[in-house]
Amino acid sequence: MKLCPKCFAPVEEAGFACCAPHCSRAGIPVSFAPGQKGGTIPLCPACRTRMTVKVCLECGFELDPDALQRGLLSFSLVGAQGAGKSNYLAVLMRELAGEFCRVYGATLYPTGGDRTMDRYQRTYARPLFDLGVCVPPTDREDVDPLTYTLLFPPNSAAGKTCSLAFYDAYGKNFGSEANMALYNRSIYHSSGLLLMVDPGQLPALRELRKAKGLPVVPGDPQALLLRTVHLLRAGLGLESVDKKIPVPLAICITKMDTIFPQLDSASFLKDPSRNLRRPMASASDFASCSLEMESLLEVWGAGEFLGHVKSQFQDWSFFGLSALGASPSEQGEIPRISPHRVLDPLLWLLWRNQILRAG
């Protein structure tokens, strides 16, 4: 999409902003002056400094020039508070920049000036990787996306260079359709959705927790799914229920480490992902993972949830993953982070958006 990743205004004609630290108009969007649209870099009307930073004229968000040329792939994390969205995003970006780029010969770099680097380091990396505690829940209704360019070498057989945006929303926004419509417009502008489900929210596992005297995990995945469907249909203008939603949906069952003991010893979901064995996604790995997870969801009493996914979406797949690899202590401390299949949902979405090849 060629829209501002913050406010989703069209950006065919982006503005500029002055970056001079003491300028009275620093950060304020300025449109092209008459006669300056031939590629000339405009001057700040206050301090006469050349303005090289492109921004959205509506909200002032710094824009990536590459994304303006090729468009932006945006991925929204959808899930109730406590489903693990922020921990997942923290580990996902670390794994994408590290193991994925090593295997696929790619490079991930943040765009939008210091905004993405600072926010990722302050909000995600420092708590989890420096302090060894969980990422605090997102506590604002409206937050900036994290924006990146995933760069592949010219003529790479592994994938195509693309611009990415990731949206990690305030968990309580998903508690009502009205809040979702107000604060989660990224959902119907998305190139793919990651629906995050805590296994403790599923009927059979919820009852098992009750029987053991463990706290009930709040949140109803089916209600969240239906709110998401309603928002997508309204935002995309899909009035007829006969028309399936074209946005790819990755349903991610998080915290799988908590239920590994309940799985068969031959469970495919326990195996390491095959998507990092070579620089090509594995279609068979995606399919095997999804089929096993569907069977488990049936056993765990989520058959109706499955039915809604399959009847509403054109393209979907189920995943089982663990961002941390173990449950935090009562003090919230994490002794060791051991991600399991964290990259799989994103790699599937990149494949469905024709960025990666799969074999």
Quote the percentage of the chain above a pLDDT of 70. Answer: 92
Q: What does the pLDDT read at residue 67?
A: 83
Identify whether residues 100 and 182 lie together within a single domain.
yes
Identify whether residues 220 and 287 lie together within a single domain.
yes
Q: What does the pLDDT read at residue 38?
A: 47
Confidence bin at 2 (pLDDT 50/70/90): confident
Residue 277 covered by a domain:
yes
Confidence bin at 15 (pLDDT 50/70/90): confident
Q: What does the pLDDT read at residue 177?
A: 66
Taking the C-alpha atoms of residue 125 and residue 115, their distance in angstroms, rounded to an integer, is: 14
Please report where in the chains the tokens 């095997």 appear, as a residue. Answer: 288
Q: What does the pLDDT read at residue 35?
A: 46
Residue 206 covered by a domain:
yes
Mean pLDDT confidence for 73-86: 90
Q: What does the pLDDT read at residue 112?
A: 77
Taking 90 as the threshold, does the pLDDT of residue 9 lie above it? no
Q: Is 61 exposed, middle or buried (0-12, 13-18, 19+ CB in 10 A)?
A: buried
Q: What does the pLDDT read at residue 171?
A: 55
Task: Please choose, from the candidates 327, 351, 164, 154, the residue with its C-alpha nearest in 3D space to the C-alpha of residue 250.
Answer: 351
Residue 45 covered by a domain:
yes
What is the pTM assigned to this prediction? Answer: 0.92
Taking 80 as the threshold, does the pLDDT of residue 192 lie above it? yes
Q: Is-contact 318 339, C-beta < 8 A?
A: no
In sequence order, the 6+-apart residues with CB closer than 8 A to the CB of 207 are none
Q: What does the pLDDT read at residue 80?
A: 83
Please report where in the chains the tokens 């994103």 appear, as a residue. Answer: 346
Residue at which a domain ends, from 63, 86, 101:
63
Task: Please choose, from the candidates 70, 75, 74, 68, the residue with its C-alpha nearest in 3D space to the C-alpha of residue 11.
Answer: 68
Taking the C-alpha atoms of residue 207 and residue 287, their distance in angstroms, rounded to an integer, is: 29
How many structural domains is the chain composed of?
2
Identify whether residues 16 and 122 lie together within a single domain.
no
Q: Is-contact 254 248, C-beta < 8 A?
A: no
Taking 80 as the threshold, does the pLDDT of residue 13 lie above it? no
Q: Phi/psi of residue 11, each to 5°?
A: -125, 35
Instruction: Give me the domain span that covers residue 214.
Output: 69-352
Read off the DSSP letter of residue 240.
-
CB neighbourhood size of 2 (10 A): 13
Residue 359 covered by a domain:
no
Taking 80 as the threshold, does the pLDDT of residue 141 lie above it? no
State both tokens at 27: 């950060």
Confidence bin at 124 (pLDDT 50/70/90): very high
Residue at which a domain ends, from 63, 85, 101:
63
Residue 55 covered by a domain:
yes
Taking 60 as the threshold, does the pLDDT of residue 332 lie above it? yes
Identify whether residues 149 and 48 lie together within a single domain.
no
Taking the C-alpha atoms of residue 110 and residue 118, their distance in angstroms, rounded to an integer, is: 10
Taking the C-alpha atoms of residue 80 and residue 313, their distance in angstroms, rounded to an integer, is: 20
Q: Is 21 exposed, middle or buried (0-12, 13-18, 19+ CB in 10 A)?
A: exposed
Residue at which a domain ends, from 63, 94, 109:
63
CATH of the domain at 87: 3.40.50.300
Identify whether residues 183 and 53 lie together within a single domain.
no
Identify whether residues 101 and 182 lie together within a single domain.
yes
Taking the C-alpha atoms of residue 258 and residue 50, their distance in angstroms, rounded to an integer, is: 55
Q: What is the mean pLDDT of the chain?
A: 89
Task: Please report the beta strands in the chain, taking only residues with DSSP state E, as ranges in sequence order.
Answer: 15-17, 53-55, 73-78, 107-110, 146-151, 162-168, 192-197, 249-253, 316-320
Identify whether residues 118 and 226 lie together within a single domain.
yes
Taking 90 as the threshold, does the pLDDT of residue 96 lie above it? yes
